[in-house]
Structure 1
Amino acid sequence: MADHHDDDLAASKTAGFKVGEKKTVEEYQKLDANDESLNRWKASLGLGTGTSISDPNDPRKCIIKSLALEADGRPDITIDLSAPGSVDTLKNKPFTIKEGSKFRIKATFIVQHEVLSGLKYIQVVKRKGVRVSKDEEMLGSYPPSTTDKPLYEKKFNPEEAPSGMLVRGHYNALSRFVDDDDTTHLKFEWSFDITKNW
């Protein structure tokens, strides 16, 4: 992808926010072991439950498995992003979205090796080369996937497709999954058509 795409997909920054010091899962588990409220917080993150399913041969910290488009009264349209070459063909296989329809995106992913802090999804939509929207969705922080919780699923905020003759047509989108460390876990181009009917 060209360099100007990186500017489009830059995550917003919160003034004064600093990413905390990196710790291993074991360090988090031992951290202030006698602090009851901290132990409840660690339990809410899933630290200390199940057996880690991290693959020592795969260095990735976050593996995006699939994206799905959920629309009212329609079967989900799911893209298996773990299949070899699946991301490379998305731009040439547009989704169809009916104007005025309500929908949301759902992501499934695996976290491995360490705690994933501040995962975000950033999306820029262009029509005929002109940017028409930029959205950023905070997905949260997650401990490594375990046998108890092997796959995380996150549903994004609901959206409504625009309506009218002027908005119908073909759109190109750029998407990026990034964390607080500004590590990109997946970046890809895709496309969709807004039409009068499904």
Structure 2
Amino acid sequence: MAQLQLGPPPQQQQRPAQPGQPGQPQQLSPQAPRPPQQARPARPATPSDTPPSGQPDASRDQRRRALPGETVAPAPDETVIAPPRQRITNPTAVFSGLDKITGRIIAFDVAIDETVQFGALQVTPRVCYTRPPTETPQTTTFVEVDEVTLNGEVRRIYSGWMFAASPGLSGVEHAVYDVWLTDCKQSAPVIPGQAQSQPPATR
């Protein structure tokens, strides 16, 4: 005679309740509690954001309180661009020439794109630049130096920049003579023999 089972079948007792099934409530496991909902982080302020009411902008307040002649650091959202360096174009270059045999040094002026011969060297400056007094001094020239050989031939021995502050950087290589830049001038060079004589004083 068959016996009736009052309880559910063994398979149904061991099977855990599946969440989402109709007629069965959803149960949460005590080992995995539901994490609390985290607060959404606030959006960081951008340079375009307006400061809150009652709190003035620090960068504007700092610039407004700056005294005349006082240097104020720029705000973090500002980019400072240095102005380009200015240079002054001069019509005359001033050189010094050394005779290595006699040890004599001669200073001479050369107009731009003109050629002056010192010993066996012909010096031709192309440009001569200086800086305004408000900037760091720097005097430069682009010059071409030719050597006149004993046979009358002209040979280029130097073509490049010369710096008045660093005469040793120029690469003029000659056994007897040396030339370097000393200054640039706005006035035209004075040629010997062309100076105007003063009229005699009348009594």
TM-score, normalised to structure 1, is 0.22
Q: Which has the higher contact order (CA 8 A, sep 6+)?
A: 1
Between Structure 1 and Structure 2, the one with more helix by share is: 1
Between Structure 1 and Structure 2, the one with more strand by share is: 1
- Which of the two has higher C-alpha Rg? 2
TM-score, normalised to structure 2, is 0.22
